Chain A
Amino acid sequence: QVQLQQSGSGLVKPSQTLSLTCAISGDSVASNSAAWNWIRQSPSRGLEWLGRTYYRSKWYNEYAVSVKSRITSNPDTSKNQVSLQLNSVTPEDTAVYYCARAKGAGGYYGMDVWGQGTTVTVSS
């Protein structure tokens, strides 16, 4: 059974960096048939896809334009996890953050496993 366990800071000061980790069990971060996505949810923005990391003979990262200049998603094969960093945060980045697995070519089979979510508040 695949499980995603999220960890990271729930309170971040404005202009600082949000850091989250998604630990994977039951699958491999380097799977050739999975992609690891980051999604956030807030009352004002709804569900917003932020980016994904996947391995297809080499590593790929794809990010939403809205956060592209501030986001990094990195795999860690030694710990079988993926991490998210979002720089220069503002109160607009306050949201529940999720990691989620998507299976199949291009994620055709949808995001079938989700982390438990991390509530991140940006406030001084």
Chain B
Amino acid sequence: DIVLTQSPGSLSLSPGERATLSCRASQSVTSSYLAWYQQKPGQAPRLLIFGASGRATGIPDRFSGSGSGTDFTLTISRLEPEDSAVYYCQQHGNLPFTFGPGTKVDIK
């Protein structure tokens, strides 16, 4: 199974700042089948990024994804209060699909 490691485990930033979240895979992710999700308490995960860098429908352009192979990054360029959530990466190129443990983003 592909193990995904996310860092940092948590971060606390102010509105307007930039957040950089990392996702590292234990082996190369097939054809960049790497997605990012946002989850708020009591809600289902929400798709932000697919194919490592494609923005899902309705996602603001302050969210961007990059990377390939084993190293991927989610960047939130200008944090807003509603961005407070846990962010997960997921690889869906190799079975079984796996998720990272998440990065909790807190907005001060």
Cβ-defined contact, A109 with B51, below 8 A: yes
Whether B44 lies near A110 (C-beta < 8 A) is no
How many Å lie between the Cα of A37 and that of B57 in the bound state?
Answer: 20
Is the CB–CB distance between A114 and B45 below 8 Å?
A: yes
Residues of chain B within 8 A (CB-CB) of A106 are 33, 92-93
Residues of chain B lying within 8 A (CB to CB) of residue A111: 35, 37, 45, 47, 90, 92
A55 contacts the other chain (Cβ, under 8 Å)?
A: no
Which A98-124 residues sit within 8 Å CB-CB of chain B?
98, 100, 102, 106-112, 114-117
B98 touches A49 (CB 8 A): yes
- B44 touching A117 by the CB < 8 A rule? yes
How far, in whole Å, are A107 and B95 apart by their CA atoms in the complex?
12
In this assembly, does A47 line the interface, its C-beta being within 8 Å of a C-beta of chain B?
A: yes
- How many residue pairs bridge A and B at CB < 8 Å? 61
Given the complex, which residues of A lie within 8 Å of B49, measured CB to CB? 110
The distance in angstroms between the C-alpha atoms of A117 and B43, with both chains bound, is 8
Flag whether B88 is at the interface (Cβ < 8 A): yes
Do A110 and B96 form a contact, CB below 8 Å, given A46-B101, A46-B102, A116-B44? no
Which residues of A come within 8 Å of B, CB atoms?
37, 46-49, 62, 64-66, 98, 100, 102, 106-112, 114-117
22 chain-A/chain-B pairs, Cβ below 8 angstroms:
A47-B45, A47-B88, A47-B99, A49-B96, A65-B96, A98-B44, A100-B44, A102-B92, A106-B33, A106-B92, A107-B33, A107-B92, A108-B50, A109-B50, A109-B51, A110-B49, A110-B50, A110-B92, A111-B37, A111-B92, A112-B56, A114-B44
Which 5 pairs, one residue from A and one from B, show the smallest C-beta to C-beta distance? A110-B50, A114-B44, A47-B99, A110-B35, A49-B97
Which residues of B come within 8 Å of A, CB atoms?
A: 31, 33, 35, 37, 44-47, 49-51, 54, 56-57, 88, 90, 92-93, 95-99, 101-102
Q: A47-B102, A106-B92 are in contact. List 17 more A-B contacts (CB 8 A).
A: A49-B97, A66-B96, A98-B44, A106-B93, A108-B31, A108-B51, A109-B50, A109-B56, A110-B47, A111-B45, A111-B90, A112-B47, A112-B57, A114-B44, A114-B45, A114-B46, A116-B44
